[in-house]
Structure 1
Amino acid sequence: MTGLNWRGAAFVMALPLAACSGTDSARYLIDAPAVADAQTRVSVQTVELRDVSLPTHASGTSIFLREADGGLRPLGNAEWADDPERAVTGTLAQLLDARSSATVSAEPWPLRDGPTARLDVRVDKMLAEASGVFDITGQVAVSAVDGRPRERVERFAISVPITEMSAAGVTEAQGRALVELSDALIGLLR
């Protein structure tokens, strides 16, 4: 009788947990769309991309939308499938490597010989606006080992339209914004 009561209690306790795991929630990857293979020649051979620093609103698992009243609210039950800082860093490193003549890797630098330049990207804002745009703003510091490229700190502001106000639409717009950001970073390495 005790075994039966224990099983019954376990079943009753599991019901609320099953109800919470609704099928309408989904996880989305931070990823960039496929881009043309054209490479831009830059003045350095190797680049280390430091871990991208994201603000609190962009570093959690929730996908937020800034509504007309200025409030940030989760976009349904949608969440990022990976740690956003890791995913943005990895996506930018892949884009920089594919779209420039330099070999690019996220930190820590994996080779014995160090990189010839470093990029330190700090994002101030990365979110979808109810007005239908996805914004990424912040600053990047370029540091060089051999004096090339010129060391400096630059601000950036990227805005791309969101084609559909859904988690999939926001994810797609974020990918396009990361491509534009990678192009801006490549411009600093020329």
Structure 2
Amino acid sequence: MVEMMVALFIFGMIATASVVLLRQSVEAEARSAVRLEEMGDLRRFSAIMAQDMTLMLPRPSRDPLGNDRVALMTGDGLLLGFSRQVAQIDPQPGSSSLQRVEWALADGRLTRAIAPKADGAKTGAPVTILEGIEQARLRFRDKQGVWQTDWRPQRTDELPIAIELTLVQQGNSARPLAFEFLVAGGGG
């Protein structure tokens, strides 16, 4: 009888240890899945932003009311606003090879909105690219190689040669993420 009690006790200990190990394994897998999803979101953001910077044009535009805008706009709730070239495989009558792109940070979401034309068109509904962003800071590298926190061009068609975007994620303010992007039409 004592041997049976000892055997059941040992079996219970082994079963408990197995359940604890299995639970830890499942929790670790769930944490890994969340982290991988976050990394995927950051890579997707970086790819979209890099493509926008590559296709950015040193071209002033007009807003829907006909007012002139500089080639690269920032401020007033707008993180970045600019015109970009788009490829047209089968252009339709009246379509444009230029788009207006606007990046913004609102309510912890980094969004991107596109207008079908660079001049006079309103942007469509913003699409969330990243969530959980507490703060976004920009720096612009001018053609002299100097980093500036404000972009104040001398000409309306002037672009920086590079843009640095630093993102502070909610709950992770001690480790901001810094991205640097070359601007294809910059420095002119």
Pair in the same fold by TM > 0.5 = no
Bigger Rg over Cα: 2
Q: Which protein has the bigger strand share?
A: 2
Higher-RCO chain (CA-CA 8 Å, sequence separation at least 6): 1
TM-score (norm 1): 0.29
